[in-house]
Structure 1
Amino acid sequence: MRKFVFGIVLVSVLFSCKDAKEKKAVKNPISNKDTVAEIAVSENSVEQEVFKSDFEILLPRSYRTYDNENPASLLNQKWIELYQENEEYYLGRPSYKIKKGFDECSGDSLISIMPENKALIFIDNPELKAGKINSLKIKKHKIWPNEKVNFTFNNVNYILRAEGKVLSENNAVSNDNEDEVFKEVAHYKLFITAGNNAEKLLLAEESFHDTFVELLFAGDIDGDGKLDFVFGASRDYEEERVVLFLSSRAEKGEAVKKVSEIAVQFDC
């Protein structure tokens, strides 16, 4: 009988300890307001800053609908369109049509932005002024590791220099239907130097999956007489990612500041 009573007491104590530990474990639950940067996945993980755009940008493409929301619905006549015409670039009010469809992969609706001009990006920044803008003709879109590109704009010399590890090389065809050597790259870093300022890191990507960084545009978008940049920086072949850099928002001693990016997934 004494053994039976002792057994009941022991079980009660064990359950009490278990309940106490469970209550202690959920004392500080993670709320929906916590960002990815604030949550460590493991002891060996490195916390990364979550980038927040100064304003939104959109691409002339199709967008999937999730939870009854679609990015394409944000576009309106208050936005600014960066487009190309006869080898020159202009800013103006968006000129486009909306086409609705259905995406078999996501199982939801699809909304496509169909530009009437040769649009590069749409920018939600009413401070930008419409009209022709000064731009450079880009001769080299991909800057591979151990390569550098020089620009001169309004008597200021710009240098883009790349570092990284080339994993492999293959013959490929570029977007302009020209033969090129495509390189699989890891630990990529792209630096920028403007005039007498010190070299600064512009872009950094640990790896790519059949993609690479491309310089899409170099010119004066914000009208301050200095170069701004638009880069394609897709990290996977089922992603389209574009990053915008403006000089007018740069900190002291820096050439440009990353102000906005968009990454669209179209995996199936």
Structure 2
Amino acid sequence: MRKLLLLPVALFFGCKQAADNAVSSPPTDHSITLVEEEPKESIEDKVYVTYEADTTGLSAEPSTPLKLLLEGSFHKEEVWQHAEKKSWLAVFYENGTYYLRPTTIQIKPAYDPVADSDMEVNGKRIISGREVTSQDSNAVFFLTGLKNYKAGTIDTVALSRNILPANKSLSYTFKGKSYSIKAFGDSTKLSEHEYAYQNYGWKVSGTKKGKYVEQVLAQDEYFDDSIYTLLWAGDIDRDGTPDLLIDVSNHYNVSSIVLFLSSFAEKGKLYEKVALFETVGC
């Protein structure tokens, strides 16, 4: 077991808000209409506001083989309808060790500072955000759809870096096998520590069944003040190859977190993209 330093939580979240803005609701269905009274001003004023959850335009369940969620507050369309009814696993980080085990999640309506108005309509204030929480703390990410999983500790990779400028590489060893992720593309230096990228992507290489394999994980033509970030690497599916959690966003205000699993890979490849969780910031 090798330790991977946890990345700042802000990398994972979209439009994160305090839990105080969440409205209490049944933990099993965020598609229902919720009405609750809370003080609008001081208690002495006896002025109350009624909240109602916006249930229009909710997203359908993703078609990817597996589904991915993170803890935090998000726009309503970023959390698919009835997600809380699924059977979920979570990767946890506790006392320097990563674990995989079953968990339950709760999804509650919450105030979205980007989409929601402070104005009342017919005596009600509509809130559209969704807050995702779990029964356990220290969850790194949630996963559903993985069959024949084995709960317990997860072997992970100790990474020396998680961001790669163009034409730079990251090499690491896992269970006696060597792997490398190389960034390719065109870069323009804007300042001493700032670059702009075009035609940028990541290529991973390693051995599979004794044969050398090289595979493009992701690439984009244009980037707006953004670069790919390796968030986590560990063997979730217990096949001896470290799986990868990568933010492949090409825009500074978007997070596109992809889970690549080795056990789903086709012949001649190391990984397959099995889940995507995409959010837009404030």
1:198 aligns with one of 189, 205, 213 = 213
1:125 equivalent in structure 2 = 145
* Structure with max Cα Rg: 1
2:133 aligns with one of 101, 114, 117 = 114
Q: Secondary structure at the match of 1:193?
A: strand
Change (3 A) 1:146 1:132: same
Cα distance in 2, alignment partners of residues 184 and 76 from structure 1? 42
1:153 aligns with one of 174, 188, 201 = 174
Gaps of 5+ in 1: 1-50, 172-180
Change (3 A) 1:75 1:184: farther
Cα distance in 1, alignment partners of residues 102 and 191 from structure 2? 41
Cα distance in 2, alignment partners of residues 208 and 266 from structure 1? 16
Contact 1:210 1:236 in 2 (8 A): yes
Cα distance in 2, alignment partners of residues 241 and 106 from structure 1? 20
Q: Does 1:137 align with 2:149?
A: no
Contact 2:73 2:110 in 1 (8 A): no
Deviation at 1:228, TM superposition (A): 0.8
Cα distance in 2, alignment partners of residues 153 and 72 from structure 1? 38
TM-score (norm 2): 0.66
Deviation at 1:52, TM superposition (A): 5.0
Deviations 1:165-195 (A, max 9, x none): 1123446xxxxxxxxx343222112111112
Cα distance in 2, alignment partners of residues 81 and 170 from structure 1? 40
Deviations 1:75-130 (A, max 9, x none): 35611111222232111123655453221322341111134422222111242222
Q: Flag the structure with more relative contact order, 1 or 2, with Cα contacts below 8 A and sequence separation at least 6.
A: 2
Q: How does 1:38-57 map to 2 (within 5 A)?
A: 52-57=63-68
Contact 1:63 1:71 in 2 (8 A): no
Contact 1:80 1:91 in 2 (8 A): yes
Contact 1:80 1:93 in 2 (8 A): yes
Q: Secondary structure at the match of 1:198?
A: strand
Contact 2:86 2:144 in 1 (8 A): no
Contact 1:58 1:72 in 2 (8 A): no
Partner AA of 1:192 in structure 2: V
1:92 equivalent in structure 2 = 101
CA-atom RMSD in angstroms = 2.3
Deviation at 1:266, TM superposition (A): 3.1
Q: How does 1:1-268 map to 2 (within 5 A)?
A: 52-66=63-77, 70-71=79-80, 73-76=82-85, 78-94=87-103, 98-107=107-116, 108-115=127-134, 116-127=136-147, 128-170=149-191, 181-195=193-207, 196-267=211-282
Deviates more, 1:89-98 or 1:201-210: 89-98
Gaps of 5+ in 2: 1-61, 117-126
Cα distance in 2, alignment partners of residues 72 and 133 from structure 1? 30
Contact 1:168 1:185 in 2 (8 A): no
Percent of residue pairs bearing the same amino acid type? 27
1:8 equivalent in structure 2 = none
Contact 2:263 2:271 in 1 (8 A): yes
TM-score (norm 1): 0.69
Deviations 1:37-73 (A, max 9, x none): xxxxxxxxxxxxxx9521211111212225xx94374
Work out the number of aligned pairs and report it: 206
Contact 2:157 2:242 in 1 (8 A): no
